[in-house]
Amino acid sequence: MEDLKCCVASCDKPLDQAYWDAQYRAKATGWDLGTVSPPIQELIDTIEDKNSAILIPGGGNSYEAEYLLQQGFTNITVIDIAPTLIEVLQQKFVNQPHVKIILSDFFEHQGQYDWIIEQTFFCALPPTMRPKYVWKMHQLLAPKGKIAGLLFNREFEEGPPFGGNKLEYMNLFFGAFTILKMDVCTNSVTPRANSELFIELEKNTAAEVHLYNFEGITCSGCKATVSEKLTSLDTVLNVNMNSNFSEVVITSTEEVALKKLQDTVSYDEKYKIIKANY
Ligand SMILES: C[S@@+](CC[C@H](N)C(=O)[O-])C[C@H]1O[C@@H](n2cnc3c(N)ncnc32)[C@H](O)[C@@H]1O
């Protein structure tokens, strides 16, 4: 599992642009496979429409983009937050009009994609961002758009990478996505054998997925109570509060009025729910 160690700096540091750029400057890119991973290559081989809009977030050296180009795809976008890496990618894909290279925080990006390829991006984010990841993915996908790729099916002592398991992911994506595949991956690269899930998740176009800021919760018990109350509202399919209680993503069949959400949590005057600015 040597290739999974990607921390050279203290993991207490925020996993921000400075952190990721430092990894590239120090060439401390233990996650880098040097080639497209076999499961993602196999996935790409099933995509028939070569003009599909395809996003690779946290793309790193973007071997998936190279493979897509070789296969004749014409609408490929790579986003990464690390400027040092982006300079390299701009050289690598110079004169390639079919690949857009964007220096950006994924959560700031706007667009509409048919496919979003997940390859060690989710696991690189602090776990507290997972509900926001679901919200953002839903926002960036076109109707019937899909996230496809790999998630770790194991835990790590220290991250990044941050692991997880199937049940946790099913609960996280429930409602916002239809889970077409979430299976133990049988063709992972050797160092990751038996430790990945292959996922294919289709956007539930009928679902409203909204992100809120939350204030006032200080313990998991209170989080559970608030989540239960919000989940019991008519039309709500799923409620995911993050691990530091500062954000909550609510998935519903119709957008729930903010006043109703506020009333639901008002049994404790410390609790405040506010629509996030986006
Ligand atoms: C573990 S690396 C994986 C890179 C690549 N997908 C691979 O498998 O080789 C995580 C990547 O996500 C990028 N990243 C981290 N946070 C990001 C964010 N908020 N927005 C965009 N990129 C981000 C990092 O710069 C890094 O390139």
Q: Single out the residue in 203, 233, 260 at which a domain terminates.
A: 203
Residue 143: count of CB within 10 angstroms of its CB: 11
> Measuring from each residue's beta carbon to the nearest atom of ligand 1, which residues come in under 6 Å?
6, 20, 31-32, 57-61, 79-82, 85, 105-107, 119-121, 124
Q: Single out the residue in 181, 203, 225 at which a domain terminates.
A: 203
The CATH number that applies at residue 243 is 3.30.70.100
73 lies in a domain?
Answer: yes
Q: Single out the residue in 173, 203, 233 at which a domain terminates.
A: 203
How many domains is the chain partitioned into structurally? 2
Same domain, 137 and 233: no
Same domain, 249 and 111: no
CA of 66 to the centre of ligand 1 (A): 17
Same domain, 54 and 185: yes
What is the reported pLDDT for 94?
97
Task: Give nearest CA residue, ligand 1 atom 15.
Answer: 58
- Find the DSSP H helices in the chain: 17-25, 38-44, 63-70, 83-92, 130-140, 166-173, 220-231, 258-265
Same domain, 112 and 212: no
What is the reported pLDDT for 12?
61
6 lies in a domain?
Answer: no
| Contact call for residues 201 and 147 (beta carbons, < 8 A) | yes
Residue 16 has pLDDT above 80, yes or no: yes
Same domain, 46 and 116: yes
Q: Which residue has the tokens 């019991």?
A: 232
Q: What is the pLDDT of residues 220-276, one digit of tens each?
A: 999 999 999 999 999 999 999 999 999 999 999 999 999 999 999 999 999 999 999
What is the reported pLDDT for 168?
98
Residue 49 has pLDDT above 70, yes or no: yes
Q: What is the mean pLDDT of the chain?
A: 95
> Once rounded to an integer, what is the mean pLDDT over residues 186-204?
97
Q: Can you read off the two tokens belonging to residue 226?
A: 């608030």
CA of 170 to the centre of ligand 1 (A): 23
User: What range defines the domain where residue 193 resides?
Assistant: 15-203
Same domain, 223 and 105: no
What is the reported pLDDT for 278?
74
32 lies in a domain?
Answer: yes
* N residues, the chain: 278
Q: What is the pLDDT of residues 54-90, one digit of tens each?
A: 999 999 999 999 999 999 999 999 999 999 999 999 9
